[in-house]
Amino acid sequence: MALLDLHFAPQLAEIEARLAKGADPAEAFRGLDDDLFALISGKDYAGHDAVKAALPDYPDNHWISNCTGNHTLHDAVQEASLFWRLAKEAYAAHGRRGPLATATVADYGAGWGRITRFCPKDAGRVVAIEPNETFHEIWRQTRVPGELVASDFLSKKKLPVSDIDLLICFSILTHASDALAKNIAKRWAEIVAPGGVVLFTVRPGTYLDLDGGEIDRLSPADKAAARSAYEAGRIAYWPYPECPSDWGVTVMPMAYLEQLFGRHFEIIGPRYFLQNHTQLPIVMVRRQGGWFGS
Ligand SMILES: C[S@@+](CC[C@H](N)C(=O)[O-])C[C@H]1O[C@@H](n2cnc3c(N)ncnc32)[C@H](O)[C@@H]1O
């Protein structure tokens, strides 16, 4: 017998009963804990066809590893689940905008919807912002729930969304140039509601001392330049030669984040993310007051 049937039959029966009554997937899975949701969403068990049909599919392994620094499906889903749990915790601790069940969540740089797919069971409305058309297509094919909003790679264009209560952003500022980061900061100031919470990741400063992974693409001289920029409180950025000039290896010190976001956001501080020591989540809250330009 499968683990699900052996130990979680009541939860499955409840989801199946809700689906039979015509509940949409967000309602059918409402409030389900993240680990169980992750297990169910893997669809690696017999039967329960209605449950499987209500859940999005996963894309090919190529896209899973391409977008997550070579993670397996299991690691990619585990990381997504733990990041979403951290986001909910940050919202509960710092949000001033009412319960998450009625809140609007935005996943900024959603990729193929790895993290986004966890949000609808807990949030009121879910918006996924993503510039890459290939991911838009994967999104449609795999039936990820939520509203997909096409953005531009430089984050220059205003977005047709506003009043976001919780914005999550995993592994975008880990790649952004100074110009792109400044555009992103403008977009967030426009779309996040006063009192709204933002949880985004940067590379920790220790990333520059690591061996292995993409930091090895920097020459010793590049690394030394990155370290002195970081130590001086500036962005350390090395553009990927194969990419447009605003995307590469990025490490942002806290002093830089203060300059980038401090006018519109109160930076609460970093959280340690045991799951992945190359990602440092930062929590901040949108300050009161309107948007006054750049
Ligand atoms: C490393 S992937 C992370 C995807 C997703 N957040 C996740 O953790 O699975 C980086 C994503 O950022 C997107 N991206 C690139 N430039 C962006 C921009 N200016 N604004 C928002 N997303 C961007 C890419 O298309 C890609 O989907």
pLDDT digits (tens, 9 = 90+) for 211-238: 988 999 999 999 999 999 999 999 999 9
pLDDT class of 72 with cuts at 50, 70, 90: confident
Q: Are residues 30 and 153 in the same domain?
A: no
**Residue bearing the CA closest to ligand 1, atom 26:** 111
What is the domain range of residue 279?
82-286
Average pLDDT, the chain: 95
What does the alpha-carbon distance between residue 264 and residue 185 come to, in Å, rounded to a whole number? Answer: 9
Kindly report, residue by residue over 196-206, the tens digit of the pLDDT: 999 999 999 99
**Residue bearing the CA closest to ligand 1, atom 15:** 153
- Say if residue 55's pLDDT is above 50: yes
Other Cβ atoms closer than 10 A to 230? 20
Kindly report, residue by residue over 109-125, the tens digit of the pLDDT: 999 999 999 999 999 99
Residues with CB under 6 A from ligand 1: 67-68, 108-111, 114-115, 130-132, 135, 151, 153, 155, 170-172, 180
Q: Are residues 48 and 87 in the same domain?
A: no
Q: Are residues 115 and 221 in the same domain?
A: yes
Give 176 Cα–ligand 1 centroid separation in angstroms: 10
Give 131 Cα–ligand 1 centroid separation in angstroms: 8
Q: Are residues 281 and 234 in the same domain?
A: yes
**Residue bearing the CA closest to ligand 1, atom 13:** 109
Q: What are phi and psi of 247, to 5 degrees?
A: -135, 130
Kindly report, residue by residue over 241-286, the tens digit of the pLDDT: 988 779 999 999 999 999 999 999 999 999 999 999 999 999 999 9
Q: Are residues 179 and 120 in the same domain?
A: yes
**Residue bearing the CA closest to ligand 1, atom 27:** 111
Residue located via tokens 């203060």:
258
Residue 60 lies in a domain: no
Is the separation of the CB atoms in 169 and 119 below 8 Å? Answer: no
What does the alpha-carbon distance between residue 264 and residue 83 come to, in Å, rounded to a whole number? Answer: 24
Mean pLDDT, rounded, for 179-189: 98
- Say if residue 293's pLDDT is above 70: no
Q: What is the CATH number of the domain that holds 241?
A: 3.40.50.150
Residue 70 lies in a domain: no
Work out how many domains the chain is built from and give that number: 2
Is the separation of the CB atoms in 42 and 77 below 8 Å? Answer: yes
Q: Are residues 90 and 228 in the same domain?
A: yes
Give 16 Cα–ligand 1 centroid separation in angstroms: 34
The per-residue pLDDT for 294 is 41
The per-residue pLDDT for 61 is 84
The per-residue pLDDT for 76 is 93
Considering only the C-alpha atoms of the chain, give the largest distance between any 2 of them, rounded to a whole number of Å: 63
- pTM reported for the whole predicted model: 0.96
Give 123 Cα–ligand 1 centroid separation in angstroms: 21
Counting atoms of ligand 1 from 1, which one is nearest the CA of 187? 20
Ligand 1, from 62, 67, 201, 276: best to mutate by most atoms within 8 Å of Cβ?
Answer: 67
Q: Are residues 152 and 15 in the same domain?
A: no
Could you tell me the CA-to-CA distances from 264 to 77, 205, 216, 234 in Å, in that order?
A: 32, 24, 35, 19
Is the separation of the CB atoms in 196 and 164 below 8 Å? Answer: yes
* Percent of the chain clearing pLDDT 90 (strictly above): 87
Q: Are residues 36 and 132 in the same domain?
A: no
